[in-house]
Structure 1
C-alpha cells in the first residue's frame, strides 16, 4: 500500500493531500527513517512518527497564510475566488481564516482535495481557463482574488480579474519566476538563476506595467516563506483594484 494512502487510512491525516504534503516536507518517519516519497510501499504495521502535522492540504497554504499576515489582510466573512486552486492550499487557507465562501477554479480536473470538494462553502470550477472568465460567471459578488498559476504568466489573467473585482478590492498572487521570466533566464532543472536580482526586477516591472494597464496597483510584496516544489524562489504580491 502506498504510504500516503496508509497514513490516511490509519487516521494520521484527514486526506491523502495532507499526507502527501507532510511526506514531501519530510515530517514523516517510518521505522525511524524519514520518508520522502508518497508512493513508498508499506507492508505490515510499521512504526510511524509524524513530527509536525500540516495545517493545510498543500504547502501553498503556508505561502498564502504568510502573505495574509505580512499584508495584514483579513478574509473573514469574504467570498474569495481562488484561481489555480489545484489541490486547494489557498482555498483551505482562506477557509481556515474565516472566508464565507470560495470559488475554487482550475484549468485541470480532479485535483482538489476531497475534503474541500465536499465542503458546502466551496464551489468547484474545474476545466475552466481563467483568462476567459468575467463578472457574469459568478452569481454573487467576489470580494477578493487569490492566484497561484503555473505554465502561464499571471499577467495574462489580470484583465479577467479586473472585470470581476470592483474598486478597492484586493488580489494576492504567487509570483513564480520560471513562468514570468524569458526562457533565456531558465537554467538546468527549470531553476531561475538570479544572484543580482536583475531578473526579479524585470519581472516586477512587467507585472506592474500589466496590472496598472488593467486597473490594479501593486501595494505589497514579500518573499514566500518556502521555495516552490522545483526549488525556485517564489514571491507574493498584493494588488488593489483602482477606482
Structure 2
C-alpha cells in the first residue's frame, strides 16, 4: 500500500513499502549504519516518522542478509578457503549472513544450525541448498547430527565459549575439513572483565589473551590453527571481533601455532 502524500509513517516501514528494504530489520540495519538519508539528511532514526512522499535515498544495498556475511567474506578471502561445490555448515546461523556468503561463493549445500527457531531470512529458508537444523545447541552436536560431514564450517556463536563448541564440531566435520571461527571476546573473557566494561571489551590485553586462549586450546579439541585476522567490522554492540582459520587435525595434538597474536590484535 502506497502512503498518501501527507501521511507520515515510520521510516523503516516506509522503506519496506517502497521496496528499499526487504524487511523492517534490514531497513533498521541500513539506517543505523548511516546508509539512508531523508531529504539529504543522514541523522535519521528507524522510528522517525516521515512524510509518505519524502525523498529517501539508500547509499548502498546490503550484499548479504546480515552483516555477518561481510565477516565471512573477509575470512574466505584472507585465508584462501574455497567453498565452491563443498558441503558446508553454518554454526549459529541466526539471520543467515554466513549461509548467504557461502551460497554466493558456490557452496553446494549448507547445514544451517542454530539453537533458536525461525530466525533465518525467508530467502534462505526457501533455498533448496539450505538444510535447517534448528533448536540444536552446537555443544550437543555429535556424529550423525547432520546428514553428512561438512567440509567447511563457519562458526558464530553467542553466550557460550568456543572451547565448549570446537570439540563437538571436530567430531562432525569431514576429514581435512576447514573452519572459520568468529571469536567474540565478551563471551571468552572473565565475568568480572565483562561486567567492568558493561559488556564491551576494549582492552587490547584482554583481546590478546582470549584470542590466545582459543588458539592454544584448539589443537586439543581436534583443530589446528592456521591463521587469524581482525574482523572487518565490529559486533553489533561495538565489540572488536576476530576470525581464526582452523583445519581439522589428523594426528596427535601439536604445540606452537606460529600465529602472532599481538600483531593480529594490534597490541604492542
Same structural fold, with TM-score higher than 0.5 when normalized by the shorter chain: yes
1:76 pairs, out of 74, 84, 94, with: 84
Provide the rounded CA distance (Å) in 1 between the counterparts of 2:99 and 2:46.
22
1:28 aligns with 2:13: no
Q: Give the match for residue 103 of structure 1.
A: 111
Q: 1:228 to 1:2 in 2, by over 3 A?
A: same
Q: Give the match for residue 255 of structure 2.
A: none
Q: Give the match for residue 147 of structure 1.
A: 155
Provide the rounded CA distance (Å) in 2 between the counterparts of 1:138 and 1:146.
15
1:88 pairs, out of 93, 96, 115, with: 96
Q: Give the match for residue 241 of structure 2.
A: 234
8 Å CA contact 2:90–2:113 kept in 1: the answer is: yes
Which runs of 5 or more structure 1 residues have no equivalent in the other structure?
none
Provide the rounded CA distance (Å) in 2 between the counterparts of 1:107 and 1:201.
28
8 Å CA contact 1:21–1:54 kept in 2: the answer is: no
Which runs of 5 or more structure 2 residues have no equivalent in the other structure?
1-8, 251-268
Q: Give the match for residue 225 of structure 2.
A: 218
Q: Tell me whether 134-143 or 166-175 shows the greater mean CA deviation.
A: 134-143
The alpha carbon displacement at 1:184 in A equals 2.4
Provide the rounded CA distance (Å) in 2 between the counterparts of 1:59 and 1:175.
15
Q: 1:32 to 1:120 in 2, by over 3 A?
A: same
The residue correspondences of 1:3-42 to structure 2 (distance < 5 A) are 3-34=11-42, 37-42=45-50
8 Å CA contact 1:180–1:203 kept in 2: the answer is: yes
The residue correspondences of 1:106-125 to structure 2 (distance < 5 A) are 106-125=114-133
Structure 1 counterpart SS, 2:228: strand
The alpha carbon displacement at 1:36 in A equals 5.1
The alpha carbon displacement at 1:93 in A equals 0.8
Deviation by residue 1:53-90 (Cα, 9 ceiling, x = unmatched): 11111111111101111111111111111011111111
Provide the rounded CA distance (Å) in 2 between the counterparts of 1:16 and 1:111.
14
Bigger CA radius of gyration: 2
1:137 pairs, out of 142, 145, 164, with: 145
Q: Give the match for residue 171 of structure 2.
A: 163
Provide the rounded CA distance (Å) in 1 between the counterparts of 2:144 and 2:44.
44
Q: 1:189 to 1:46 in 2, by over 3 A?
A: farther
Structure 1 counterpart SS, 2:19: coil
Q: 1:188 to 1:207 in 2, by over 3 A?
A: closer
- If asked which structure has higher relative contact order (CA below 8 Å, sep 6+), I would say 1
Structure 2 counterpart SS, 1:33: coil
1:192 aligns with 2:201: yes
